[in-house]
Amino acid sequence: MNIKLAVIPGDGIGPEVTEQAQKILDKIAGVYNHKFEYKTLLAGGAAIDAVNNCLPDETIAVCKASDAVLLGAVGGWKWDTLPGDKRPEMALLGLRKELGLFANIRPALLFDELADACPLKREIISSGANGKVELDIVVIRELTGGIYFGEKGFKDTPLGKAAYDVELYAEEEVRRIAVVAFDMAMKRNKKVTSVDKANVLESSRLWRQVVAETAKNYPEVKLENLYIDNAAMQLVRNPRQFDVIVTSNMFGDILSDEASMITGSIGMLPSASLKNGNFGMYEPVHGSAPDIAGQDKANPMAAILSAAMMLRYTFALSKEAEAIERAVKAVLAKSYRTGDIYSEGKTLIGTKEAGDLIAGEIR
């Protein structure tokens, strides 16, 4: 298969981890007889520095003409003083909107080899007499609606200047993300937890209504509803109760990061942002981590696992995706660890060595 990929290395550790993901894809290409054609593009802070625009038109055009997008990370301290609408992070919102990416899929899978890195007690993340770790959650976050894209502005009030951000959802926006969640649950353990704040917000009441209507088309799937505050608590109290979590843009932003830390390190978690059809943008959940950029300290496994998600979801190459996931697990089983997941008695490795070791496990 010949595959055209738009690659956006981005800022901070983005270029380092993206380089390792491409290394793994090149190994997959050799073993499984595929060809990856990469087009490297600017977005985020790097684009601001180069062309004074966080999301150049060329980047959008090439992404639309590609089969999928592989993204590193954007942002960093260097650009923190810029106005909100000029910051590097606006490139992410722009890409999602321009590419029609409405569904963010974030797996939170705890590898048994990393159980000691989980901040929760062993008995919370494991079950049965053998104590085997059983923590496998998918958070599905709506990406193009809600408070991040609603009307924004300032106004004068008796208490002084005020700012506002409007939470707005249309029925179809909720319905299409609910369908993604229920379809995913049908392939897993057939349970969907919808998270909202329907006791306070009108937008959440509409959300709950549309999700319930969608659930009627999936009689095999159990639907439960949780308020966001309770869901955040339950994720650390008993994360094994969850299978697929579906929620709004802002709530999903928060919950997916919380879920990521339960797995031991945000450096291990991939994500996919999808539109209708097979096109998607794939990126690690972590940020640009400018404090360790250029030091060969970053964990590339989230970027590498994002490449595996790309092979599975966009190109239906499940065998190749599984080969990458097995390779990551094999490296962990041999006690190799980057700094974020290091513990006493393990072998500390850097970004490039991690990529080399994982590539070496793909045969």
Q: Per residue in 162-217, pLDDT tens?
A: 999 999 999 999 999 999 999 999 999 999 999 999 999 999 999 999 999 999 99
Active site residue 336: no
For residues 301-328, b (16+ Cβ closer than 10 Å) or e, as one string? Answer: bbbbbbbbbbbbbbbebeebbebbbebb
Residue 129 confidence (pLDDT) above 70 = no
Rg of the Cα trace of the chain? 20
Q: Which residue out of 39, 112, 136, 148 is catalytically annotated?
A: 148
Which one of the listed residues 26, 112, 136, 257 is annotated catalytic?
Answer: 257
Superfamily designation of domain 1-102+271-363:
Isopropylmalate Dehydrogenase (3.40.718.10)
- Going along 180-252, which residue ranges are E strands? 191-196, 222-227, 244-247
Query: Would residue 229 show up in a list of annotated catalytic residues for this protein?
Result: yes
Residue 253 falls in the annotated catalytic set: yes
pLDDT score of 123 more than 70: yes
pLDDT of residue 343: 86
pTM of the prediction? 0.87
pLDDT grade for 103, boundaries at 50, 70 and 90: very high
Asked if 126 contacts 134 with a C-beta cutoff of 8 angstroms, the reply is yes
CA distance 117 to 264: 5
Which residue is catalytic, options 243, 253, 313, 340?
A: 253
| pLDDT of 305 higher than 90 | yes
SS3 105: strand
Active site residue 85: no
Of the candidates 23, 27, 197, 297, the residue annotated as catalytic is 197
Residue 293 CA to residue 310 CA, distance in Å, equals 25
pLDDT higher than threshold 80 for residue 132:
no
- Please check whether the two domains, 1-102+271-363 and 136-262, share a CATH topology: yes
Q: Which residue pairs from 235-239 have beta carbons closer than 8 angstroms and sit at least 24 positions apart in sequence?
A: 235/259, 235/262, 236/120, 236/262, 237/124, 238/124, 239/108, 239/120, 239/124, 239/125, 239/135, 239/137
Say if residue 128's pLDDT is above 70: no
Q: Which of 25-39, 86-100, 246-260 has the highest mean pLDDT?
A: 25-39
Mean pLDDT across the stretch 13-35? Answer: 98
pLDDT of residue 201: 97
* Over residues 109-120, mean pLDDT: 78
Mean pLDDT of 45-63: 97
Check whether 131 has a pLDDT greater than 80: no
**Domain 136-262: which topology?**
Isopropylmalate Dehydrogenase (3.40.718)
From the candidates 229, 291, 319, 334, give the one annotated as an active-site residue: 229
- The full set of domain ranges for the chain reads 1-102+271-363, 136-262
Q: Verify whether residue 334 is a known catalytic residue.
A: no
Q: Which two tokens stand for residue 244?
A: 């697929």
How confident is the model over 18-23, as a mean pLDDT? Answer: 98
Binned at pLDDT 50, 70 and 90, residue 276 comes out as: confident
